[in-house]
Amino acid sequence: MYELLLILAAVVPAAFLLIRVYQADKLEKEPAGLLISILVLGIVATTLAVVTEQLGDALLTGLFPQGGVIYDFILYFVVVALSEEGFKYLLLKLRTWKSPHFNCRFDGVVYAVFMSLGFALWENIAYVLEYGFATAVARALTAVPGHACFGVFMGVWYGEAKHLDLAGYPEESKKARRKALWIPILLHGAYDFIASLQSDWMIILFLGFVIWMFRAAVKMIRKSSAEDRPMTKEGLRPELTGEQADTKADEQLEQTNRQTNGQTHSDESD
């Protein structure tokens, strides 16, 4: 009975956040089967990350003194953050990028958060069963929402990448996909690294970082949900500014000149 209560304590925070993100999807709800498959892949990502983290930790221990600043920095930014966010992103893209249901920008947020919370759900159950109810409370306030936030940042850029791809900007889409991977890695690494530093000032810094990240994620969800639009191959092209706009204008002018010159030569031949 006690173990069942611990599992419920581990599951409820993730389930609550999943429901809130699902409700924020205003235009078109995603199929239950697709979302469940993403949750399952989040669990798969947990298993894969455990393997690479163990290998990375073993390698790192042979190179640097355990517990040192360099050791912790590489451990949390490279071994942990890269493994966990990397597998989340890889499985997310494999499952959803070509899905016909991926037809709105906010879908990227929904998919990435479900992937992240599937990961956090399984990880949370393991921690809570091992360390008890106090861990469930602590992780409900920090780790589970933290994974959700990483998913929001990933999802916003992932949805933007899909939009750019459909709009005919493959290079810009690649840049957005890189941001969908590296921004969560940096946030995740910073979260774990700051949490590992033992001092009163670091606790204050950690709380400040967590509050900033949570507030930023909530604002991004609200903004992305409110501005969500359908995506089609004939859909809206993203507005370009600065150098991108100038380049696009030059390309269009050159194309017009070629067409004009071609028509002139054709008239002269006639």
- Per-residue pLDDT reduced to its tens digit, 66-80: 878 899 999 999 999
- Per-residue pLDDT reduced to its tens digit, 90-107: 999 999 999 999 999 999
Predicted confidence band of residue 245 (pLDDT cuts 50, 70, 90): very low
User: Looking at residues 44-60, what average pLDDT do you find?
Assistant: 94
Predicted confidence band of residue 239 (pLDDT cuts 50, 70, 90): very low
Which token pair is 66? 């355990």
**How does DSSP classify residue 199?**
S
Computed over every residue of the chain, the mean pLDDT equals 83
Asked if residues 158 and 108 have their Cβ atoms less than 8 Å apart, the reply is: yes
Predicted confidence band of residue 32 (pLDDT cuts 50, 70, 90): very high
- Per-residue pLDDT reduced to its tens digit, 134-145: 655 666 667 788
